[in-house]
């Protein structure tokens, strides 16, 4: 199981997901700003991984300057790195609350480090529970279509949707994984395929437009995806292209399952309309690995996420179990 995030006590080491699987290189962070830049630039990505990384960014901030003013400035810098994944804000609030008691500020850097390490370990435990619940729920489903990357690279290890897929494989109940390439950042083609190959999962790469054909040809038993923010009513923000998969699955009567830890559930976000959708740099769409795929100065729209209405979601799997519609998280 690959480790995307490594804490070394005085710096953070991130596996650079912008260049996998072609290069294995690492980015070191020693300040909150460097950590925020790594999140914004998608050195590290994936909602749970973003939260864990931000927790360590706050430790670095306190190691550099243990004043409350510097800590709150670091919270702002990290909170501004990416707007959609609620895990980022959950992690920041988790450290804020942990330092809330008077004892927390006696040695805030050490206390924040204890909090961050616990948050990191807790996410791994959540992933394993999601895998168990999801595999139990999907008994008999053997051919899975997934979107983006929701594995060890997007979490503390094991994964959410890919964690369920790993569990199905461990229980010898998986015959096929179709991985959407997931334009424009290619999390599927570059990261999910690589993770599946590392674990000898039966993975086939498909383009983002193939989902309807696979379902029409009866090649898929279920669709499993991750999430970046689940609203109180179950509307779910996930990688751009997810909602179209949900529409196709609904039309074909195929289960569409969202897998996420409860740190991805935003009870104060009432519906999908309240979820901020990140827009990313245009060259992510107009170029692939720095090579242009369109004419210069082409107009581009690059929303990184879309919202799948709760009505299209068959089940939401968290570490607490399986939730069915109508969803009401509070
Ligand atoms: C378990 S990862 C959840 C989620 O995060 C990814 O977004 P990004 O790669 O832009 O950070 C994707 O939406 C995954 O489904």
**How much is the ipTM here?**
0.98
Residue 199 annotated to the active site: no
b/e for 51-63, b at 16 or more Cβ within 10 A?
bbbbbbbbbbbbb
Instruction: Please indicate whether residue 157 or residue 103 has the higher confidence score (pLDDT).
Output: 157
| CA neighbours closer than 13 Å in the CB half-sphere of residue 73 | 13
Ligand 1: nearest atom to the Cα of 45: 11
pLDDT above 90: percentage of residues in the chain: 96
From atom 2 of ligand 1, which residue's Cα is the shortest distance away? Answer: 46
Ligand 1: nearest atom to the Cα of 160: 1
Ligand 1: nearest atom to the Cα of 278: 10
Under 8 Å CB-to-CB from 188, ≥6 apart: which residues?
146, 147, 148, 149, 179, 180, 181, 182, 205
Strands (E), the chain: 5-7, 12-15, 26-29, 143-146, 176-180, 203-206, 222-225, 229-231, 236-239, 256-259, 265-266, 287-288, 291-292, 305-308, 315-318, 321-323
> 261 with 48: CB under 8 angstroms?
yes
Predicted confidence band of residue 141 (pLDDT cuts 50, 70, 90): confident
CB atoms within 10 A of CB 226: 31
Q: For residue 194, report the distance from its CA to the centre of ligand 1, in Å.
A: 16
Q: For residue 50, report the distance from its CA to the centre of ligand 1, in Å.
A: 9
Predicted confidence band of residue 104 (pLDDT cuts 50, 70, 90): confident
Angle between helical axes of 47-64 and 32-40 (0-180°, round to 10): 160
**Digit-coded pLDDT (tens) for 251-307:** 999 999 999 999 999 999 999 999 999 999 999 999 999 999 999 999 999 999 999
Q: For residue 105, report the distance from its CA to the centre of ligand 1, in Å.
A: 34
Dist. CA 26–CA 3, nearest whole Å: 11
Instruction: Give me the residue label for tokens 């245009």.
Output: 282
Q: Which two tokens stand for residue 56?
A: 């360590």
What is the pTM (predicted TM-score) of this model? 0.98
pLDDT confidence of residue 123: 97
Cβ burial of 265 (10 Å; 0-12, 13-18, 19+) is: buried
Q: Which two tokens stand for residue 156?
A: 């503390």
**Digit-coded pLDDT (tens) for 203-228:** 999 999 999 999 999 999 999 999 99
Residue of 90, 123, 208, 228 marked catalytic: 228
> 266 with 231: CB under 8 angstroms?
yes
> 99 with 108: CB under 8 angstroms?
yes
Domains of the chain: 5-125 (1.20.120.420), 129-323 (3.40.50.10470)
Among 142, 44, 132, 57, smallest CA distance to 92 is for 57
């Amino acid at each position: 199981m690959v480790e995307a995030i490594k804490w070394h006590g005085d710096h953070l080491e991130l596996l650079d997901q912008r260049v996998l699987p072609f290069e294995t290189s690492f980015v070191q962070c020693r300040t909150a700003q460097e950590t925020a830049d790594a999140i914004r630039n998608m050195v590290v990505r994936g909602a749970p991984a973003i939260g864990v990384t931000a927790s360590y960014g706050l430790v670095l901030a306190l190691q550099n300057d243990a004043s409350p003013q510097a800590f709150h400035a670091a919270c702002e810098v990290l909170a501004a790195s990416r707007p959609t994944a609620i895990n980022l804000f959950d992690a920041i609030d988790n450290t804020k609350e942990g330092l809330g008691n008077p004892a927390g500020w006696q040695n805030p850097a050490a206390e924040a480090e204890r909090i961050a390490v616990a948050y990191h370990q807790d996410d791994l435990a959540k992933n394993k529970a999601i895998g168990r619940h999801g595999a139990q729920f999907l008994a008999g489903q053997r051919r899975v279509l997934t979107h983006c990357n929701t594995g060890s690279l997007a979490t503390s290890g094991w994964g959410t949707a890919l964690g369920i897929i790993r569990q199905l494989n461990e229980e010898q109940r998986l015959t096929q994984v179709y991985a959407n390439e997931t334009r424009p950042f290619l999390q599927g083609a570059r990261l999910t395929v690589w993770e599946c190959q590392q674990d000898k999962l039966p993975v086939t790469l498909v383009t983002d437009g193939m989902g309807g054909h696979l379902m029409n040809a009866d090649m898929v038993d279920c669709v499993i995806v991750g999430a970046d923010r689940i609203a109180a009513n179950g509307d779910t923000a996930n990688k751009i292209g997810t909602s179209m998969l949900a529409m196709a699955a609904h039309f074909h009567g195929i289960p569409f399952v969202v897998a996420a830890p409860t740190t991805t559930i935003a009870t104060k976000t009432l519906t999908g309309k309240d979820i901020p959708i990140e827009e990313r740099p245009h060259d992510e769409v107009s170029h692939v690995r720095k090579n242009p795929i369109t004419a210069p100065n082409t107009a581009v729209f690059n929303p990184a996420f879309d919202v799948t209405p709760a009505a299209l979601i068959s089940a939401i799997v968290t570490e607490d179990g399986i939730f069915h519609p109508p969803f009401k998280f509070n």
